[in-house]
Amino acid sequence: MFKNQSGHVRAGWLILLTFAAMLIVQQLFSLPGIFLLIFTEAPFSGVSDSQDILTALDTHPWIFLLMQGGGTAGAILITFLLWRFMNKGTMKQLGFRGSLNDLWFGLFLGALSITVIFIVLMATSNVTLINSWSNPQFSQYTITFLILFILVGVSEEMFFRGYVMSTMASRGNKKWVIYLVSAVIFSLAHMANPNVSIIGLVNIALVGILFAYMFGVTKSLWLPIGYHITWNYFQGNVFGFAVSGTTPNGIYGVEVAEGRDWLTGGAFGLEGGIPATALILAGFIATSLYAKWRHYK
Protein backbone atom coordinates (compact mmCIF):
# COMPACT_ATOMS: atom_id res chain seq x y z
CA MET A 1 0.00 0.00 0.00
CA PHE A 2 2.70 2.45 0.98
CA LYS A 3 5.47 1.15 -1.27
CA ASN A 4 5.66 0.21 -4.94
CA GLN A 5 7.13 -2.96 -6.43
CA SER A 6 10.61 -1.44 -6.28
CA GLY A 7 10.32 -0.89 -2.56
CA HIS A 8 10.03 2.91 -2.82
CA VAL A 9 7.40 4.91 -0.98
CA ARG A 10 4.66 5.71 -3.47
CA ALA A 11 4.62 9.24 -4.92
CA GLY A 12 1.11 9.91 -3.63
CA TRP A 13 2.12 9.43 -0.01
CA LEU A 14 5.17 11.67 -0.37
CA ILE A 15 3.07 14.39 -2.02
CA LEU A 16 0.33 14.11 0.62
CA LEU A 17 2.84 14.31 3.47
CA THR A 18 4.61 17.32 1.97
CA PHE A 19 1.33 19.09 1.23
CA ALA A 20 0.10 18.54 4.80
CA ALA A 21 3.43 19.71 6.24
CA MET A 22 3.31 22.76 3.98
CA LEU A 23 -0.17 23.72 5.24
CA ILE A 24 0.89 23.36 8.88
CA VAL A 25 4.11 25.33 8.46
CA GLN A 26 2.27 28.06 6.54
CA GLN A 27 -0.03 28.56 9.52
CA LEU A 28 2.88 28.65 11.96
CA PHE A 29 4.84 31.16 9.90
CA SER A 30 1.71 33.32 9.59
CA LEU A 31 1.32 33.65 13.36
CA PRO A 32 3.65 36.68 13.86
CA GLY A 33 1.57 38.67 11.38
CA ILE A 34 -1.71 37.57 12.98
CA PHE A 35 -0.51 38.45 16.49
CA LEU A 36 0.79 41.83 15.32
CA LEU A 37 -2.53 42.61 13.65
CA ILE A 38 -4.53 41.64 16.72
CA PHE A 39 -2.20 43.68 18.95
CA THR A 40 -2.52 46.68 16.60
CA GLU A 41 -6.27 46.54 15.99
CA ALA A 42 -8.04 44.65 18.75
CA PRO A 43 -7.88 47.32 21.50
CA PHE A 44 -9.44 49.87 19.18
CA SER A 45 -11.82 48.11 16.80
CA GLY A 46 -12.80 44.82 18.40
CA VAL A 47 -10.96 42.52 16.01
CA SER A 48 -11.79 39.10 17.39
CA ASP A 49 -12.70 36.61 14.68
CA SER A 50 -11.34 35.54 11.29
CA GLN A 51 -13.65 37.83 9.29
CA ASP A 52 -12.61 40.84 11.38
CA ILE A 53 -8.97 39.93 10.79
CA LEU A 54 -9.43 39.67 7.01
CA THR A 55 -11.18 43.05 6.92
CA ALA A 56 -8.50 44.69 9.07
CA LEU A 57 -5.71 43.27 6.89
CA ASP A 58 -6.96 45.35 3.95
CA THR A 59 -5.77 48.49 5.77
CA HIS A 60 -2.40 47.06 6.86
CA PRO A 61 -0.43 46.02 3.77
CA TRP A 62 2.86 45.44 5.61
CA ILE A 63 1.20 43.27 8.25
CA PHE A 64 -0.58 41.44 5.44
CA LEU A 65 2.82 40.82 3.84
CA LEU A 66 4.23 39.60 7.17
CA MET A 67 1.30 37.22 7.56
CA GLN A 68 0.81 35.93 4.00
CA GLY A 69 4.41 36.34 2.92
CA GLY A 70 5.63 34.68 6.09
CA GLY A 71 3.37 31.71 5.49
CA THR A 72 4.53 31.46 1.89
CA ALA A 73 8.18 31.64 2.93
CA GLY A 74 7.46 28.82 5.37
CA ALA A 75 6.00 26.75 2.53
CA ILE A 76 9.15 27.31 0.47
CA LEU A 77 11.34 26.25 3.39
CA ILE A 78 9.48 23.03 4.24
CA THR A 79 9.21 22.01 0.57
CA PHE A 80 12.97 22.41 0.21
CA LEU A 81 13.73 20.52 3.46
CA LEU A 82 11.48 17.58 2.61
CA TRP A 83 12.78 17.44 -0.95
CA ARG A 84 16.37 17.52 0.31
CA PHE A 85 16.11 15.08 3.21
CA MET A 86 13.11 12.90 2.38
CA ASN A 87 13.43 12.71 -1.42
CA LYS A 88 17.23 13.04 -1.28
CA GLY A 89 17.14 15.55 -4.15
CA THR A 90 19.01 18.74 -4.98
CA MET A 91 17.60 22.16 -5.90
CA LYS A 92 18.78 21.58 -9.45
CA GLN A 93 16.83 18.32 -9.61
CA LEU A 94 13.80 20.13 -8.22
CA GLY A 95 13.85 22.47 -11.22
CA PHE A 96 16.03 25.43 -10.28
CA ARG A 97 18.30 25.14 -13.27
CA GLY A 98 18.63 26.43 -16.80
CA SER A 99 18.72 29.93 -18.23
CA LEU A 100 17.20 32.99 -16.57
CA ASN A 101 16.02 33.92 -20.07
CA ASP A 102 13.17 31.53 -19.31
CA LEU A 103 12.25 33.66 -16.29
CA TRP A 104 12.21 36.86 -18.36
CA PHE A 105 10.07 35.27 -21.05
CA GLY A 106 7.68 33.97 -18.41
CA LEU A 107 7.40 37.42 -16.83
CA PHE A 108 6.69 38.93 -20.26
CA LEU A 109 4.15 36.28 -21.26
CA GLY A 110 2.19 36.49 -18.00
CA ALA A 111 2.01 40.28 -18.16
CA LEU A 112 1.06 40.23 -21.84
CA SER A 113 -1.70 37.67 -21.27
CA ILE A 114 -3.42 39.71 -18.56
CA THR A 115 -2.99 42.94 -20.56
CA VAL A 116 -4.64 41.38 -23.62
CA ILE A 117 -7.58 40.15 -21.50
CA PHE A 118 -7.98 43.60 -19.99
CA ILE A 119 -7.89 45.35 -23.38
CA VAL A 120 -10.47 42.94 -24.83
CA LEU A 121 -12.82 43.43 -21.87
CA MET A 122 -12.43 47.21 -21.97
CA ALA A 123 -12.95 47.34 -25.76
CA THR A 124 -16.19 45.37 -25.37
CA SER A 125 -17.40 47.61 -22.50
CA ASN A 126 -17.24 44.79 -19.96
CA VAL A 127 -14.89 46.81 -17.77
CA THR A 128 -14.43 50.55 -17.38
CA LEU A 129 -11.22 52.24 -16.30
CA ILE A 130 -11.87 54.47 -13.28
CA ASN A 131 -8.68 56.54 -13.12
CA SER A 132 -7.00 57.65 -16.34
CA TRP A 133 -3.90 56.01 -17.83
CA SER A 134 -1.93 59.13 -16.94
CA ASN A 135 -2.96 58.96 -13.29
CA PRO A 136 -1.81 55.65 -11.78
CA GLN A 137 -2.41 55.33 -8.03
CA PHE A 138 0.78 53.92 -6.55
CA SER A 139 0.65 52.86 -2.91
CA GLN A 140 2.23 50.58 -0.33
CA TYR A 141 0.26 47.73 -1.90
CA THR A 142 2.23 48.21 -5.12
CA ILE A 143 5.38 47.12 -3.28
CA THR A 144 4.04 44.67 -0.72
CA PHE A 145 2.06 42.65 -3.24
CA LEU A 146 5.00 42.55 -5.66
CA ILE A 147 7.05 40.90 -2.91
CA LEU A 148 4.13 38.63 -2.00
CA PHE A 149 3.44 37.49 -5.56
CA ILE A 150 7.13 36.75 -6.12
CA LEU A 151 7.03 34.51 -3.04
CA VAL A 152 3.75 32.92 -4.19
CA GLY A 153 5.10 32.25 -7.68
CA VAL A 154 8.23 30.58 -6.31
CA SER A 155 6.37 28.63 -3.61
CA GLU A 156 3.52 27.27 -5.73
CA GLU A 157 5.71 26.33 -8.70
CA MET A 158 8.29 24.81 -6.37
CA PHE A 159 5.66 22.50 -4.89
CA PHE A 160 2.98 21.91 -7.55
CA ARG A 161 5.38 21.60 -10.45
CA GLY A 162 8.86 20.98 -9.00
CA TYR A 163 8.00 18.67 -6.12
CA VAL A 164 4.84 16.98 -7.38
CA MET A 165 6.01 16.38 -10.95
CA SER A 166 9.56 15.37 -10.06
CA THR A 167 8.36 12.98 -7.34
CA MET A 168 5.88 11.35 -9.72
CA ALA A 169 8.46 11.15 -12.51
CA SER A 170 10.92 9.42 -10.16
CA ARG A 171 8.29 6.69 -9.62
CA GLY A 172 7.85 6.07 -13.35
CA ASN A 173 4.45 7.71 -13.89
CA LYS A 174 3.43 8.59 -17.44
CA LYS A 175 3.84 12.20 -18.56
CA TRP A 176 0.13 12.86 -19.13
CA VAL A 177 -0.67 11.49 -15.66
CA ILE A 178 1.97 13.73 -14.09
CA TYR A 179 0.65 16.82 -15.90
CA LEU A 180 -2.97 16.06 -15.02
CA VAL A 181 -2.38 15.21 -11.34
CA SER A 182 -0.25 18.31 -10.70
CA ALA A 183 -2.91 20.52 -12.34
CA VAL A 184 -5.83 18.95 -10.46
CA ILE A 185 -4.07 19.29 -7.10
CA PHE A 186 -3.26 22.90 -8.00
CA SER A 187 -6.92 23.62 -8.76
CA LEU A 188 -8.23 21.84 -5.66
CA ALA A 189 -5.86 23.87 -3.50
CA HIS A 190 -7.77 27.00 -4.64
CA MET A 191 -11.23 25.66 -3.81
CA ALA A 192 -11.37 27.53 -0.50
CA ASN A 193 -10.60 30.91 -2.11
CA PRO A 194 -13.28 33.62 -1.72
CA ASN A 195 -15.91 33.88 -4.50
CA VAL A 196 -14.63 30.72 -6.18
CA SER A 197 -16.39 29.68 -9.41
CA ILE A 198 -16.52 26.59 -11.61
CA ILE A 199 -14.95 28.40 -14.57
CA GLY A 200 -12.29 29.73 -12.21
CA LEU A 201 -11.35 26.25 -10.98
CA VAL A 202 -11.33 24.91 -14.54
CA ASN A 203 -9.06 27.75 -15.66
CA ILE A 204 -6.74 27.20 -12.68
CA ALA A 205 -6.49 23.52 -13.63
CA LEU A 206 -5.85 24.53 -17.25
CA VAL A 207 -3.13 27.00 -16.33
CA GLY A 208 -1.73 24.28 -14.08
CA ILE A 209 -1.36 22.08 -17.17
CA LEU A 210 0.28 25.03 -18.96
CA PHE A 211 2.75 25.44 -16.08
CA ALA A 212 3.42 21.70 -16.18
CA TYR A 213 4.04 21.93 -19.93
CA MET A 214 6.41 24.87 -19.41
CA PHE A 215 8.31 22.88 -16.80
CA GLY A 216 8.30 19.78 -18.96
CA VAL A 217 9.70 21.35 -22.13
CA THR A 218 12.30 23.59 -20.46
CA LYS A 219 13.21 21.19 -17.60
CA SER A 220 13.26 24.32 -15.45
CA LEU A 221 10.89 26.15 -13.09
CA TRP A 222 11.94 29.61 -14.24
CA LEU A 223 9.40 29.95 -17.07
CA PRO A 224 6.30 28.99 -15.02
CA ILE A 225 7.55 31.03 -12.04
CA GLY A 226 7.85 34.14 -14.22
CA TYR A 227 4.43 33.66 -15.81
CA HIS A 228 2.83 32.98 -12.42
CA ILE A 229 4.26 36.16 -10.86
CA THR A 230 3.13 38.63 -13.52
CA TRP A 231 -0.21 36.86 -14.16
CA ASN A 232 -1.10 37.54 -10.52
CA TYR A 233 0.54 40.94 -10.19
CA PHE A 234 -0.80 42.52 -13.36
CA GLN A 235 -4.25 41.15 -12.62
CA GLY A 236 -4.48 42.47 -9.06
CA ASN A 237 -1.96 45.28 -8.66
CA VAL A 238 -1.79 46.86 -12.08
CA PHE A 239 -5.34 46.57 -13.44
CA GLY A 240 -7.15 46.22 -10.12
CA PHE A 241 -9.02 42.93 -10.51
CA ALA A 242 -9.45 40.36 -7.78
CA VAL A 243 -6.85 37.57 -7.85
CA SER A 244 -8.54 34.21 -7.20
CA GLY A 245 -11.11 36.03 -5.09
CA THR A 246 -8.76 38.22 -3.06
CA THR A 247 -9.16 41.99 -2.60
CA PRO A 248 -7.66 44.01 -5.52
CA ASN A 249 -5.31 46.95 -4.94
CA GLY A 250 -4.32 48.09 -8.42
CA ILE A 251 -2.56 51.22 -9.58
CA TYR A 252 -5.59 51.43 -11.86
CA GLY A 253 -9.15 50.88 -10.76
CA VAL A 254 -11.79 49.13 -12.82
CA GLU A 255 -15.55 48.93 -12.72
CA VAL A 256 -16.71 45.48 -13.82
CA ALA A 257 -20.02 45.07 -15.65
CA GLU A 258 -22.58 43.10 -13.65
CA GLY A 259 -24.20 39.91 -14.90
CA ARG A 260 -21.31 38.92 -17.17
CA ASP A 261 -19.19 36.89 -14.77
CA TRP A 262 -18.57 34.27 -17.46
CA LEU A 263 -16.63 36.97 -19.32
CA THR A 264 -15.13 39.10 -16.55
CA GLY A 265 -14.78 36.50 -13.84
CA GLY A 266 -16.79 38.68 -11.47
CA ALA A 267 -15.64 38.78 -7.86
CA PHE A 268 -13.23 35.89 -8.43
CA GLY A 269 -11.14 37.87 -10.91
CA LEU A 270 -10.14 37.44 -14.54
CA GLU A 271 -9.29 33.77 -13.95
CA GLY A 272 -13.04 33.10 -13.71
CA GLY A 273 -13.80 34.26 -17.28
CA ILE A 274 -13.71 32.70 -20.74
CA PRO A 275 -11.17 35.25 -22.10
CA ALA A 276 -8.67 33.87 -19.58
CA THR A 277 -9.31 30.39 -20.99
CA ALA A 278 -8.41 31.63 -24.47
CA LEU A 279 -5.20 33.32 -23.31
CA ILE A 280 -4.14 30.28 -21.31
CA LEU A 281 -4.56 28.16 -24.44
CA ALA A 282 -2.57 30.75 -26.39
CA GLY A 283 0.14 30.28 -23.77
CA PHE A 284 0.67 26.72 -24.99
CA ILE A 285 1.37 28.01 -28.50
CA ALA A 286 3.69 30.75 -27.22
CA THR A 287 5.57 28.26 -25.05
CA SER A 288 5.94 25.80 -27.93
CA LEU A 289 7.32 28.51 -30.22
CA TYR A 290 9.68 29.72 -27.49
CA ALA A 291 10.87 26.18 -26.83
CA LYS A 292 11.66 25.67 -30.52
CA TRP A 293 13.48 29.01 -30.67
CA ARG A 294 15.54 28.03 -27.62
CA HIS A 295 16.09 24.52 -29.08
CA TYR A 296 14.41 22.81 -26.14
CA LYS A 297 12.40 20.65 -28.54
pLDDT in tens, 237-281: 999 998 887 778 899 988 998 888 999 998 898 999 999 999 999
Q: How many CB atoms lie within 10 A of CB 192?
A: 8
* Domain-embedded: residue 239: yes
Give the three-class secondary structure for 277: helix
pLDDT at position 252 is: 92
Residues of the chain with pLDDT under 70: 1-7, 41-57
* Domain-embedded: residue 133: yes
Global pTM exceeds 0.85: yes
pLDDT at position 5 is: 65
* Domain-embedded: residue 265: yes
* Domain-embedded: residue 22: no
pLDDT at position 132 is: 86
* Domain-embedded: residue 137: yes
* Domain-embedded: residue 65: no
Domain holding 202, by residue range, is 93-293
pLDDT at position 88 is: 94
* Domain-embedded: residue 134: yes
* Domain-embedded: residue 203: yes
pLDDT at position 40 is: 79
Q: How many domains does the chain divide into?
A: 1
Reported as type and span, the H/E element at residue 48 is: none
Give the Cα separation of 87 and 83 in Å (integer).
5
